[in-house]
Amino acid sequence: MMPCFSALLPYLFQVSLVFGGAACFGYMPNSGNDDLVLRVESEYEKVLEGPRSKVFIKVALDAPATATIRQRPDVNLALVLDRSGSMKGRKLREAKQGAVQAVYRLNPSDVFALVAYESTAQTLVPATRLDDMNSVLQAIEGIQIGQSTAIFAGVSLGAAEVRKNIGMSAVHRIVLLSDGIANVGPSSPEDMVRLGVALGKEGISVSTVGIGDDYNEDVMTALSQTSEGNTYYVKNVEELVGIFSRELGDVLSVYARDISVRVLFPKGVRPLSIVNHKGTIAGNEALVAINQLYGGQEKFLLFECEVLNATAGERRSIAEARVSYTHAGTKRSHHLTNSLAIRVTSSQNAVLASANTAVIRDNAVFQNTYVVDQAIQLADEGKEAQAVDELIKGSKALEQLGKINKDPALLKKSKEMESYAQSIEQRGMDKRTRKELRTTNVQEKTQQKILPKLPRSSVPDQPEKKDLPKKQQTQNQTPERKK
């Protein structure tokens, strides 16, 4: 059961008293020569004296932009495509074209597999290097419509193909596409959580692409979130080729893999929880594993801590972060360290005036994801009026925080929550609203790198039709509109 908004409201309104200011407290150059930046920051540069003072700490990794990455990693990719009856017509055609787009963006050294599923799952292209691209394209073109939807079997078979090359130093990824509800084999969100966790431990991420308004977003997001993949909601099939292009763009721009974040808290600082990620706390040490980091992405962890027996005037060491990772392109291991120290004061106003707005925003936005989860649950229980109340309360808290800190991002998020509340109040929690809420919420929880909308006309590296098999050239021609 997610915590209700009333449990979060005091914290959000306490934060809303902040006077503003955005300094990078605790930020120092990395220890070591590397393009990846490690930052350790807190919500406030100062902490109030006393036996116990709560502190939220942010440990952030900033990867350089894709344009500065000289070597891209190899890719071990399995596409798992829904070919159930509901995919008939334009959905399947666009999915095929998206798959073609994916193939054309890969290198001969990359590994590709294609799985299609309906009542059962079939491997159409076993894991292979792309020496014979024409046969792969013909296999994509040959996908035919089936009947039911066996998502679990499809992902499991895709994982089996990826595992054939799990020993290679590469980005291991499954891209799952579905427009329907799993109705064959294991099909609950809990089943997908177990599958996603298991795959994540193997270093295999699953990105999910849900099409239309009839797929089960709880199942799809459970799989992507637990395996550290991306989550997409495709309202119109015309977006599919662009989604494939963006997803492959992310896969090809992975900067760091197998990231281990170890945070040491000195005597007098007690770590209470890892706010926004799974990990372990043992004594005064926290350990978190992150599968991968894309070029141009910030990935951060939030820690809730207590500073014990702080005396005004002293400078207290709060945390030291130690990060190790593998550069995805060069395959070399790297190690970074950074630390944080803050001042102790007897003045509450001095604490509030030392605010780091960016860290406060990140914490507030993440806490708001619990509000959204609670609203969705209430709506599912038929308590739509209470769901609306939750979203409105969250909106107002974010609005007040955004106004005081002059933070346009929080004001925008506040308006978004207000808009959803109004939509549910007027039309109820329809399928589209629920999918938008769930998808956006998971993207915020996982800090998914969201790129601008990519119009079909601007999708890069589109293969020319003369390069496709003859049958596919005909299939992909756009018929003229009737006048």
SS3 content of the chain, % helix, strand, coil (to 5): 40, 30, 30
Please name which of 22, 60, 23, 64 lies closest in space to residue 40, comparing C-alpha atoms.
60
Residue ranges, CATH 2.60.40.3670, the chain = 26-67+256-346
Distance CA 444, CA 276 (A): 10
Measure the CA–CA gap between 167 and 163, rounded to whole angstroms: 8
CB burial of 338-352 (b: ≥16 within 10 Å; e: otherwise) equals bbbbbbbbeeeebbb
Write out the chain's pLDDT in tens, 483 residues.
444 433 444 444 343 333 233 333 333 444 444 589 999 999 999 999 999 999 999 999 999 886 556 678 889 999 999 998 888 888 888 889 888 988 888 888 899 999 999 888 999 999 999 877 888 999 999 998 888 888 899 999 999 999 999 998 889 999 999 887 777 777 788 888 999 999 999 999 999 999 988 888 998 999 999 999 999 999 888 888 888 888 988 888 899 999 999 999 999 999 999 999 999 999 999 999 999 999 889 999 999 999 999 999 999 999 999 999 999 888 899 999 999 999 999 999 999 899 999 999 999 999 999 999 999 999 999 999 999 999 999 999 999 989 988 889 999 999 999 999 999 999 999 999 999 999 999 999 999 876 555 444 444 444 443 344 444 443 333 333 333
Domain with CATH 3.40.50.410 in the chain: 74-252
CATH of domain 26-67+256-346: 2.60.40.3670
Cβ atoms of residues 57 and 42 within 8 Å: yes
Which phi and psi angles does 310 have, rounded to 5°?
Answer: -85, 140
pTM score, whole prediction: 0.82
CATH 3.40.50.620 describes domain 74-252: no
Structure tokens at 3: 């915590």
